[in-house]
């Protein structure tokens, strides 16, 4: 068990000499893997009122216990009472891309690497370098702790682009996300505001955290959960998925590209999934009229889709993986609030795109889950808390095609 350190937020002002401060009365830092920007709010206090004025549009870096959590800009401020406190709200530097349209003179040429194309389009907002997850692992920087990947990944930024047209009036972030997704990646911030990372979810990594909620008063010392909720929804979950491309025959699904996914393949990652699927569904592409077990109530639910945009085997396999992932996500959404900003067992600060072992006997959760979102909060009344939302691994696949 690691001795926890009371969290301290440092607000760093890169362009204002001598203005860095820890005089913070409250804060909230929200991060989610699938959102365009991370956001923040904090309240500063100072007897020198001039230090709290004219902070709009100022670049800031937010650090928890010295570990960088967000690099962004102040969008809005509120000064009230006697002027000795200011509340600042803003987003990370990805917001510059969200709020800026692509220069219509920009041309993305076939054969460019993704990195070259993004660097060309994003140069006006100060982006000088596009890197991969192997170069900058933001999850490790934010956690202030080693987060080791056990599988291969990265390299999306080095892939070549086929024909690609910029839409008139398209936003920088919109274009960049569309282009990166086409090659299996997505845009994430880096540890430097002049860089961007082309990333993909990391499900093959060592488990960093432990979330424990025991229904046992004698074991309360092991619990690090304040409150939690496990939401399970199986209403749209298929038992078998079949995707073809536009060349496929409607009658036989042959003649073109195709991909299939038996839900039993997906179940292997979770004992709960295995148990529910084994007692409730048919395995394989079995039509109800062919089965002798209809009276037992097993579910047969085929997910079929003809994906006209898929032109390669890889694209159609990714399309079916994405469709199944969207339905897998709803089988378990685990939201939890914990004390402080560190995992007591590993000492790591909570970070997104990481894995946690959840052992919650009250809500019947006992498996490794992926951290999709995280919010650090602090008030003098409640102290420091962290709110997390976790999904089953492979519940998010990047939209390629």
Residues 215, 338, single domain; the answer is yes
- Percentages of the chain per state (helix, strand, coil), in multiples of 5: 20, 35, 45
Q: Are strands 24-32 and 9-12 parallel, antiparallel or unpaired?
A: unpaired
Instruction: Give the model's pLDDT for residue 398.
Output: 85
DSSP, res 166: P
**Distance separating alpha carbons of residues 377 and 363, to the nearest angstrom:** 24
Residues 219, 354, single domain; the answer is yes
Residues 310, 250, single domain; the answer is yes
Instruction: Give the model's pLDDT for residue 208.
Output: 95
CATH of the domain at 45: 2.30.300.10
Instruction: Give the model's pLDDT for residue 335.
Output: 98
Task: Note down the domain range covering 357.
Answer: 209-233+331-391
Instruction: Give the model's pLDDT for residue 219.
Output: 60
Instruction: Give the model's pLDDT for residue 183.
Output: 86
* Whether the predicted model's global pTM rises above the 0.75 cut: yes
**Distance separating alpha carbons of residues 49 and 41, to the nearest angstrom:** 19
DSSP, res 117: H
pLDDT digit string, tens, across residues 156-209: 899 998 878 888 999 999 999 999 988 889 999 999 999 999 999 989 899 999
Residues 228, 375, single domain; the answer is yes
Residues 118, 193, single domain; the answer is yes
Residues 116, 250, single domain; the answer is no
Burial state string for 86-95 with b = 16 or more CB within 10 A and e = fewer than 16: bbbebbbbbb
Q: What is the four-CA torsion angle of 52, 54, 58, 61, rounded to 10 degrees?
A: 0
Tally of domains in the chain: 4
Residues 195, 282, single domain; the answer is no
Does residue 204 sit within a domain? Answer: no
Instruction: Give the model's pLDDT for residue 379.
Output: 94
Instruction: Give the model's pLDDT for residue 38.
Output: 98
Q: Are strands 209-213 and 85-92 parallel, antiparallel or unpaired?
A: unpaired
**Distance separating alpha carbons of residues 347 and 3, to the nearest angstrom:** 8
Instruction: Give the model's pLDDT for residue 253.
Output: 47
Q: How many CB atoms lie within 10 A of CB 207?
A: 13
Q: Are strands 240-244 and 302-306 parallel, antiparallel or unpaired?
A: parallel
> Is the alpha carbon torsion for 20, 91, 394, 332 positive or negative?
positive
Whole-Å CA distances, 254 to 151, 251, 289, 300, 307: 33, 8, 22, 22, 14
Q: Which residues of the chain have pLDDT under 70?
A: 1-5, 150-154, 217-221, 246-255, 288-296, 399-401
CATH of the domain at 112: 3.55.50.10
**Distance separating alpha carbons of residues 371 and 391, to the nearest angstrom:** 7
């Amino acid at each position: 068990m690691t001795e926890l350190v009371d969290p301290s937020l440092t607000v760093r002002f890169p362009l204002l000499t001598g203005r860095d401060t820890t005089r913070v009365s409250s804060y909230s830092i929200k991060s989610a893997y699938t959102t365009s920007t991370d956001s923040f709010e904090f309240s500063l206090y100072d007897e020198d009122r001039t230090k709290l004025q004219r902070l709009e549009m100022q670049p800031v870096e937010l650090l928890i216990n010295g570990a960088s959590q967000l690099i962004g800009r102040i969008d809005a401020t509120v000064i009230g009472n006697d002027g000795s406190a200011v509340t600042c709200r803003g987003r990370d530097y990805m917001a510059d891309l969200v709020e800026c349209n692509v220069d219509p003179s920009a041309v993305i040429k076939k054969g460019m690497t993704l990195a070259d194309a993004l660097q060309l389009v994003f140069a006006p907002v100060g982006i000088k370098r596009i890197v991969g997850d192997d170069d900058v692992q933001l999850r490790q920087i934010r956690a202030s702790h080693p987060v080791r990947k056990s599988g291969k990944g990265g390299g999306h930024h080095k892939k070549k682009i086929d024909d690609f047209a910029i839409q008139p009036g398209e936003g920088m972030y919109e274009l960049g996300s569309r282009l990166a997704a086409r090659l299996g990646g997505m845009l994430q911030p880096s540890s430097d505001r002049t860089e961007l990372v082309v990333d993909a979810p990391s499900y093959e990594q060592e488990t960093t955290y432990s979330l424990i909620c025991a229904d046992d008063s004698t074991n309360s010392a092991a619990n690090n959960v304040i409150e939690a909720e496990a939401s399970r929804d199986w209403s749209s979950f298929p038992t078998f998925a079949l995707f073809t491309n536009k060349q496929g025959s409607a009658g036989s699904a042959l003649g073109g590209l195709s991909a299939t996914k038996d839900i039993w393949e997906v179940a292997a990652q979770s004992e709960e999934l295995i148990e529910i699927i084994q007692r409730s569904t048919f395995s394989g592409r079995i039509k109800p009229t062919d089965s002798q077990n209809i009276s037992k109530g097993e579910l047969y639910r085929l997910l079929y889709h003809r994906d006209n945009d898929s032109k390669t085997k890889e694209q159609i396999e990714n399309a079916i993986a994405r469709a199944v992932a969207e339905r897998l996500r709803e089988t378990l959404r685990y939201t939890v609030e914990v004390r402080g900003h560190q995992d007591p067992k590993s000492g790591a600060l909570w970070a997104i795109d990481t894995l946690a072992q959840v052992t919650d006997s009250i809500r019947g959760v006992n498996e490794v889950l992926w951290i999709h979102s995280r919010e650090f909060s602090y008030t003098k009344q409640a102290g420091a808390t962290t709110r997390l939302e976790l999904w089953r691994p492979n519940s998010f696949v990047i939209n390629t095609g």
